[in-house]
Amino acid sequence: MIKFSEYRMVKEMLDKRLNQREYNDILKQMGVMSEDGKVDLKNMTEKINNFLESEENQKKFLKDIKKVDIEGKKVKVKAKKLNPGQTAIYLDQVMSRILSNPKFVKKVLNGKVKDRDILISSDNHIIDGHHRWCAAFILNPKCKIKCTRINLPIEIALPILNAILKESNSKNQEQSGEEKHNIFKLAYNKKLPIELNDITEKMAKKDTWKTGMDKKKMIGDVFEKLQKKNKDVNPLLYLAKNIQKLPIPHGNLTGRKDMPQLKDDELKDILKKY
């Protein structure tokens, strides 16, 4: 006689295979997956848009996606255990998050981030929240981040979520930094500390923060916290060292503009509806 626990395990395995087959069929129809099962995320948005131009395809997609379960659960994961799901993260945007938010810095240095959670795939790739994750990582790679993990690997999650958002008329990511500051291109540049210093000086001069904030004092507070936590090591050198520890995105991933951008209520609706 098969024990209930064994039956449940076999059923879960079969359900997973069925879901995988269903997802593969959807991705092949979109042109994101080849017949031999290889996923190509290059020009993903264009492929999805072309596929969903047809009303017949729209109906079929919505019918097919309802056959599979997209589930999410709350988890806490160390920053260093997560990987980028896109090929561009902008250093100026990351530094803006760090320099303008001493409370965030304090939380991260103390080992936990309780801000708005980050969406990750089943294989621990970031789907939404790259700049928040990166800011936390370069401050303290060991800090634990509150995340929502969905039961799809990154290569399936990105086109599926993008297609769902396209159907609900939601926009994809907008660029939130300067392309010349892509952190993955700067990571092993000898001039990285100089680049960090230049960005810091520009942040102190630019009128991009809330009115009334003493920006120089705020930056000073952040640097002081970093020095105290890291035995008086120069803050910019400390950040540069951690930037060089960032995991590099694998070549099959896409740029920031092709990434899904999900607000908390949209994510809840997707997990509930599909």
Report the amino acid identity of residue 186. Answer: L
**What proportion of the chain, given as a percentage, has pLDDT over 70?**
81
Report the amino acid identity of residue 73. Answer: K
Average pLDDT, the chain: 82
pLDDT value for 83: 96
Give yes or no for residue 78 having a pLDDT over 80: yes
Give yes or no for residue 120 having a pLDDT over 70: yes
Q: In which order are the strands placed within the sheet that holds 112-120?
A: 72-78, 144-150, 112-120, 126-128
φ, ψ for residue 31, nearest 5 deg: 90, 10
Question: Is the same domain home to 25 and 81?
Answer: no
Average pLDDT over residues 61-68: 84
Q: Determine the structural domain holding residue 59 and report its residue range.
A: 4-65
Which residues lie below 8 Å from residue 267, measured CB to CB, with a gap of 6+? 72, 119, 148
Q: Render pLDDT for 177-231 as a digit per residue (tens, 0 to 9).
A: 677 889 999 988 888 988 898 988 887 776 555 555 677 787 888 888 888 877 7
Q: Write down which residue in 37, 65, 93 finishes a domain.
A: 65
Q: Is 7 exposed, middle or buried (0-12, 13-18, 19+ CB in 10 A)?
A: exposed
Question: Is the same domain home to 49 and 99?
Answer: no
Looking at 12-21, 87-96, 146-155, which range is the least confident one?
Answer: 12-21
**Strand pairing category for 72-78 and 144-150:** antiparallel
Instruction: Check if the beta carbon of residue 121 is closer than 8 Å to that of residue 157.
Output: yes
Q: Write down which residue in 40, 65, 90 finishes a domain.
A: 65
Give yes or no for residue 9 having a pLDDT over 90: no
Predicted confidence band of residue 176 (pLDDT cuts 50, 70, 90) = low
Predicted confidence band of residue 4 (pLDDT cuts 50, 70, 90) = very low
Report the amino acid identity of residue 35. Answer: E
Question: Is the same domain home to 157 and 204?
Answer: yes
Most confident of 41-50, 74-83, 91-100, 206-215: 74-83
Question: How far is residue 225's CA from residue 139's CA, in Å, rounded to a whole number?
Answer: 10
pLDDT value for 5: 44
Q: Write down which residue in 20, 36, 65 finishes a domain.
A: 65
Question: Is the same domain home to 144 and 248?
Answer: yes
Q: How many domains does the chain have?
A: 2
**What proportion of the chain, given as a percentage, has pLDDT over 90?**
35
What three-state secondary structure class fits 169? Answer: coil
Question: Is the same domain home to 119 and 252?
Answer: yes
Question: Is the same domain home to 187 and 79?
Answer: yes
Question: Is the same domain home to 178 and 206?
Answer: yes
pLDDT value for 115: 62
Question: Is the same domain home to 17 and 46?
Answer: yes
Tokens of 252: 């099959």
pLDDT value for 206: 67
**Strand pairing category for 72-78 and 112-120:** unpaired
pLDDT value for 103: 85
Higher pLDDT, 194 or 274: 194
pLDDT value for 90: 92
